[in-house]
């Protein structure tokens, strides 16, 4: 029996506004955040009968408490999907949602699924990274992994060591631009269409409504960043200002076979081209997107010159700059994170991959002459993840 692979399309993606740890979602359950995203996808796409959904894959890095119990299945039930729709949980740390998308996309291409919901959630205020984890002592005792690799801030300092041309000043300047671009994107109404308002509750303040990303600091300046402490190393270069924070939030995306989208009358935003994951030395985790991007480009038969749009997760400014330097791309290249990134919006670990996809789709919508784009991120314990997308509404012009 032979099979013909099917094209996979990204039809829609939504997310909650991201919150600060112990902030607007302090008394909101993690599963309720992702449930709201799933319901919003159904509301926004009424042509999709819920029973046509074949799978739900939801990522969480810390799969305990209200992020546990096979959250893809439980969230699907609570979101009102038919009991016939299965679901599962997935974990690849920061690349959780991205992996949920590519894993289910592989099933669509193979023909096992027609329609899926994939996303992620992380409530870092309730479940700090590493909570309940018991690493095998052999990892350190046998030097399988450098102990510094267990602390993400240390890996970012190591990356500065490896690439001394990436100074603290460059990292701070990049961070200031991220905040400015995010504020401008809000002002232009680019971010809000994919945000799901979330009812919040506080025992002291009562009910509220989260409609904007809480971590944003548009007033950030080079002077304010210069005054911040370097918590991971004395006289270091990584600060709370040039790195993503500790955040809460959820995302969900709707993917399907291109032929099914046409059947249902749904308009795709992007088509999946290729994806790649790689492993690197864990203590230099932030460099992971370099080899994963090289691999994804090779699989697609493309070069970096073919890429018109980049959405790079800003776990740390140094991580983004190392990728740009590798390809000779300027720090302020207009193709890179034009609407801001995780330094401004926040990075609730396993949820962030779909935020990148939403913003890439917004780049494509804004400029139909952009044909290919990349979503990429570094991943804890030394991994890189890259997905290449094609603009579903590309107008055939070359940049």
Of the residues 123, 127, 160, 347, only one is catalytic, namely 347
Active site residue 94: yes
| Cα distance between residue 115 and residue 95, in whole Å | 21
CB atoms < 10 A from the CB of 387, how many? 31
Of the residues 94, 123, 127, 160, only one is catalytic, namely 94
Q: Which two tokens stand for residue 94?
A: 């920061």
Q: Taking each helix axis as running N to C, give the angle between helix 168-187 and helix 317-327, from 0 to 180 degrees, rounded to the nearest 10.
A: 100
Q: Which residues contact 199 (CB under 8 A, 6 or more apart)?
A: 207, 208, 209, 210
Would you give the distance in Å from CA 90 to the centre of its chain? 14
Active site residue 37: no
41, 85 Cβ separation under 8 angstroms: no
Catalytic residues: 94, 347, 378
């Amino acid at each position: 029996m032979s099979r013909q692979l099917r094209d996979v399309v990204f039809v829609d993606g939504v997310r909650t506004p991201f919150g600060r740890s112990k902030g607007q979602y302090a008394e909101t359950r993690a599963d309720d955040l992702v449930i709201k995203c799933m319901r919003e996808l159904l509301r926004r796409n009424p042509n999709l009968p819920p029973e046509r959904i074949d799978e739900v894959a939801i990522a969480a890095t810390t799969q305990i408490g209200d992020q546990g119990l096979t959250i893809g299945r439980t969230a699907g039930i609570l979101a009102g999907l038919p009991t016939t729709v299965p679901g599962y949980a997935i974990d690849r740390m920061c690349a959780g949602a991205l992996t949920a998308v590519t894993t289910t996309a592989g099933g669509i291409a193979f023909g096992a699924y027609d329609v899926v919901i994939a996303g992620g959630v992380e409530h870092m205020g309730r479940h700090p990274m590493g909570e309940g984890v018991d690493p095998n002592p052999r990892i350190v005792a046998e030097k399988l992994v450098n102990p510094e690799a267990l602390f993400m801030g240390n890996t970012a300092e190591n990356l500065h060591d490896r690439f001394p041309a990436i100074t603290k000043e460059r990292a701070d300047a990049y961070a200031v631009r991220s905040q400015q671009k995010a504020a401008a994107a809000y002002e232009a109404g680019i971010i809000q269409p994919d945000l799901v308002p979330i009812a919040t509750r506080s025992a002291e303040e009562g009910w509220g409504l989260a409609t904007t990303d809480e971590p944003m600091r548009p007033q950030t300046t080079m002077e304010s960043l210069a005054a911040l402490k370097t918590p991971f190393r004395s006289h270091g270069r990584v600060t709370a200002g040039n790195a993503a924070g500790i955040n809460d939030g959820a995302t969900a995306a709707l993917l399907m076979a291109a032929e099914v989208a046409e059947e249902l009358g749904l308009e795709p935003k992007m088509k999946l081209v290729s994806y790649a994951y790689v492993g690197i030395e864990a203590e230099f985790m932030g460099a992971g997107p370099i080899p994963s991007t090289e691999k994804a480009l090779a699989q697609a038969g493309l070069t970096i010159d073919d890429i018109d749009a980049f959405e790079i997760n800003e776990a740390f400014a140094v991580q983004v700059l190392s990728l740009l330097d590798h390809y000779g791309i300027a720090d302020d290249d207009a193709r890179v994170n034009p609407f801001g990134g995780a330094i401004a919006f926040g990075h609730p670990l396993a949820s962030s991959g779909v935020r990148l996809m939403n913003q890439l789709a917004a780049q494509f919508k804004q400029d139909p002459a952009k044909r290919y784009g990349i979503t990429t991120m570094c991943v804890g314990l030394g991994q890189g993840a890259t997905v290449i997308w094609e603009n579903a509404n590309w107008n055939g012009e070359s940049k």
